[in-house]
């Protein structure tokens, strides 16, 4: 546990939260600044700052719990779509440095837009970038 971490405090029950799910590896709580009703955070019990620091097994637990939460949102809120978002690193918008997945229920006309601004790749870019990144 990181004593300065708000999510560690929530996991330890030392800070209030609206918990909707828990298992031996994760908890899921309502986000206190929801993008829309039902916006939930899935948080591993162990403290890891971000995706880079988190063991694959822990990520698997978080992914499994996120799927359970998505099904619960579908069933309880009647939504048919969901965004799973992880911000890792300050430049990606991470504010709380204890890894978490946002599970954001989506429905038609909800006014949310997580689309990235993208441009069509040309052949030169695809060739050069794939050779830089391939492993
Ligand atoms: P991120 O930008 O991915 O680090 O997002 C952190 C999220 O945690 C934000 O959406 C906050 O609204 C949410 N948050 C911060 N403090 C709390 C808290 N005490 N309980 C629930 N959610 C929180
Ligand atoms: Zn923590």
> What CATH number does residue 112 fall under?
3.30.428.10
* Token couple for 77: 């809120």
Per-residue pLDDT of the chain (135 residues), as tens digits, is 888 999 999 999 999 999 999 999 999 999 999 999 999 999 999 999 999 999 999 999 999 999 999 999 999 999 999 999 999 999 999 999 999 999 999 999 999 988 888 999 999 999 999 999 999
Does residue 29 line the site of ligand 1, with CB under 6 A? yes
Rounded CA separation 60/64 (Å):
6
| Residues designated catalytic | 100
Domain membership flag for residue 79: yes
Range of the domain at 108: 6-133
Determine the distance separating the centroid of ligand 1 and the alpha carbon of 61, expressed in angstroms: 20
CA atoms lying within 13 Å on the CB side of residue 37:
7
Ligand 1 binding pocket includes 46 (Cβ within 6 Å): no
Whole-prediction pTM value?
0.96
Distance 6 CA to ligand 1 centre (A): 9
Judge whether 1 lies within some domain: no
Residue 116 resides in a domain: yes
Secondary structure of the chain: what % helix, strand, coil (to 5)? 35, 20, 50
Number of structural domains (the chain) is 1
Phi, psi angle pair for 57, to nearest 5°: -65, -40
Instruction: Answer yes or no: are the C-beta atoms of 117 and 50 closer than 8 Å.
Output: no
């Amino acid at each position: 546990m990181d004593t300065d971490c708000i999510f560690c405090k929530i996991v330890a029950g030392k800070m209030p939260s609206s918990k909707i799910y828990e298992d031996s590896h994760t908890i899921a709580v309502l986000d206190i600044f929801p993008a829309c009703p039902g916006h939930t955070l899935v948080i591993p019990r162990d403290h890891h700052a971000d995706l880079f620091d988190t063991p694959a097994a822990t990520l698997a637990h978080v992914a499994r719990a996120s799927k359970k939460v998505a099904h619960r949102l579908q069933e309880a809120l009647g939504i048919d779509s969901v965004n799973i978002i992880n911000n890792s690193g300050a430049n990606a918008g991470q504010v709380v440095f204890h890894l978490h997945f946002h599970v954001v229920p989506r429905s038609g006309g909800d006014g949310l837009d997580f689309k990235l601004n993208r441009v069509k790749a040309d052949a030169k870019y695809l060739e050069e970038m794939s050779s830089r990144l391939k492993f």
